[in-house]
Structure 1
């Protein structure tokens, strides 16, 4: 599977009676078996405020600098796909419970994530051989 892009953004209200401004969307676009697919993960914006409960990161942006800065919302869909590779068969995922959201972030090898974003920036893609490479294995 080749990862083409990972990005996240805050939703904005389109109408005054909607609740979009309580949510963020994270997307990962990848190519698998010659087909380009995108997984959209919609989650409660509050999780961005408490991301240090799920990750070892203490500040946002998590890593990178300037235009290459990577924010928490940029890694959410990537982490979900790494943790649950079956999500590659879905277009959307909605997560609104803290325990469910936190479960996706357990055992991720966060030291390896910058490698993906560096490759996306420089080579316009990252070849993912196995999601297991990003899951910490018990000693």
Structure 2
């Protein structure tokens, strides 16, 4: 599987009676089996504020590579895909439970995530051989 893009953004209200401004969208675009797919993860924006409860990240951006700042929104869909590779066949995932959201970040090797973004910056892709490389294994 080749990862082509990871990014996230805050949704904005299109109409005054909608609740879009309470949500963020994170996307990961991948290429597999001759087909390009994009997974859109829509989640409650509040989870960004409590990320320190289930990640080592205290502030946003969560890390900086050279001159590129990587925000928490940029990694959410990627982490979901790494934790559950079966999501690569889905187009959308909606998460409104803090417990479900936190479960995706459990046992993730956060020290390896910059490797993906560095490759995306330099080569415009990252070859993911096994998602297990990003999951902490019991000792």
Q: Same fold (TM over 0.5)?
A: yes
Task: Give 3-state SS (helix, strand or coil) of 2:64's partner.
Answer: coil
CA distance in 1, matches of 2:67, 2:91: 28
CA distance in 1, matches of 2:67, 2:40: 23
Q: Does 1:26 align with 2:26?
A: yes
| 1:4 Cα deviation after fit | 0.2
Q: Which residue of 2 aligns with 1:76?
A: 76
Let me know the Cα RMSD of the aligned residues: 0.9
The C-alpha deviation readout for 1:95-117, integer Å capped at 9, x for no partner, is 00000000000000000000000
Runs of 5+ unmatched residues, structure 2:
none
Q: How many residues align?
A: 139
| 1:90 Cα deviation after fit | 0.3
Runs of 5+ unmatched residues, structure 1:
none
Task: Give 3-state SS (helix, strand or coil) of 1:115's partner.
Answer: helix
Q: Does 1:52 align with 2:52?
A: yes
CA distance in 2, matches of 1:67, 1:47: 26
Q: Post-superposition, which runs of at least 4 consecutive aligned residues in structure 1 deviate over 6 A?
A: none
CA distance in 2, matches of 1:89, 1:66: 33
| 1:65 Cα deviation after fit | 5.1
Q: Does 1:112 align with 2:92?
A: no
TM-score, reference length from structure 1: 0.98
Single out whichever of 7-16 and 59-68 deviates more from structure 2. 59-68
Query: Normalized per residue, which structure has more strand?
Result: 2
